[in-house]
Structure 1
Amino acid sequence: MALPPYSSNVRWAEYKIDTPTFRLSPVEKPDMSPFLFHMTGRKEILSILSPDMDAFPENSGFLKSAIPEAQGEDRNYTAEVVCLTESPTFCLDFFRYRSFNRWRQNQLFGIGLDKSELAELGARPCIYADEQLKNDLIVIKHRLEEIELQDPVLRERLPSLINRAYPLMMPLLENKASQGFMWEREWRYENAQDRGLVFPYSAIKIICCPENEEEGIRHVLGIYSNNIKFVRSWREYNEVTSYLKNRKREMHVPSKLSYSNDQEYLSALKEQLVNYRSVFNRIEAFKNFIEIIESKGASTSDALHELQQTMDSMIQQIRNIQDKL
């Protein structure tokens, strides 16, 4: 139900979206996701899901820490972290279109973990730092390792501040032609002791993979795969971007005043009815996709209802004109 304009007669609380932030999904806000994904290749995902079992708990996976790709050439940056993205599932294939390395590595595979659970473990969003802020943080960190502060408060708080911010730092690269990597919507997890993220299979909510690879991954996960949604992120990306590109052209209700006779108006109505049905089917497919993952569909249900009403009206107009001809 659409939120009406402000009025003393309207109870805003009845329309309020009170989903906790880490659990917001594309249903409530299209750019949000309740999951954190690690995108990878075929060989890598099998290795992640089947680590050396002598070193890790049974039925668990392991994401190894590494210096982030964008910072690997910065010799002053040595933090090893696990990189994740909070991008919604239907946006994930953008990564292959944006990054040559991701395309070359055929990153059609991904592991989606619960954002709330990872936040409890210590995963945090990146701090996008401009050049000055980045350099200041690095210099202060290295300097603190060489001196002892006299002030007891600073001696305790300043190293803690820098050491917590340092692994999360990502260059903004605002002066580069490509303007950096904010599109990654990156979160990071650091655990120096484990040198990565150990996670139980039960924490996996979604697996992105080609259909012909699903059986092999299900075999690795065993009974845990029964509670995991398998999706094709590139298919959703292609469908949604195609829909958005064509939306304005397709969403048009002809006005009778624009046509000189009923026959021309009838042809225009029929043409646009086909377009409406096409959009309706795409939104319905997207609604089914969201419902599978989120078990919610209120926003898309409203959109489908509105489209259905418009199509019914157009069909009635077509019938009225045909009855007169």
Structure 2
Amino acid sequence: MDPLSHLIQQARPQALLELRCTLGGAAQLPHAAAPAGVLPFHLVLAGQCRVRVPGQPETLLQAGDWLLLPQGSAHDLAPGQPRSSLQSPQPLQWDVDGWLPLRHDGRAAQGDPALDLLCGHFQFAAGPMQLLLRGLPPVWTVPLAPLLPTLPLMGDWLRRETQDGLPGARALVTALCQALLTLALRHSSAPAGAAPPPGTLALLGHARLRPAVQAMLGDPAQPWTLAELAQRCALSRASLARHFLQVAGQPPLAWLTAWRLALAHQALQDSPHSVADIAHSVGYSSPAALARPFAAAFGCSPASCRRSGQASDKAKP
């Protein structure tokens, strides 16, 4: 299995489509900061969209652009080209459009909206998904149209699925959103032109370092040494360390530690195995050996992490 597929399979991000927005005037759509473990997204189906995030330059999105906010930042959205700059913003209204809530300003019904937007988020546990998102900008814009020539058809398909309310519509839209996330991650790991910023995605797209990454992903419990990893890449230890630091932003064994801790965090939340078994499965000799690096990474002990996961499970309907 390729490294990106491996990490996505471990991360298991769950898509939730929240609402559709159609705006014809100059309305503003404010969004509060998202809680930890939530990756908000907005897909522009038609029109243009201006995005404002505190401390970041304003971004203009076109139809086919997908906006994701890896840090869950608070943000405001507005049509890029309202129908008339002389029109004052109208109060936003709530309606139902199929199975998905519809937020609109009343003007979009008069013709093609200045902005047609699908809004949702991905949920994930602190672990493999955070490792994937590390190094991404706080405002992550992915132009899907060049990556997916059939995007206009997919956009119409998504719109119809949210409107018609046919059996399986929610599951179908969720699966499509998760496929688009994989496409976005692939694009960011191997973009055309400029190299991606240092991080796991850049590492996954680096062909020379891939053998070492695959080895660590496939067998995290193995007591890998720098020499063994360098040998797999046909590099000297110094060359491996230099390239790895440049691409991933950290040395190979530090990245291995981050991967082990990500797996441990996920297992503590999802797995019935004991803390000792989980520690051994990711390369630590005992719960005590796991506890210190785990607390440094996540701010809590493995036992506390397990209790919080159990409490969350009990709270679920």
TM-score by length of 1: 0.26
Specify which structure has the bigger relative contact order, considering alpha-carbon pairs within 8 angstroms and separated by 6 or more residues. 1
- Structure whose CA Rg is larger: 1
**Structure with the largest fraction of strand:** 2
**Structure with the largest fraction of helix:** 1
TM-score by length of 2: 0.26
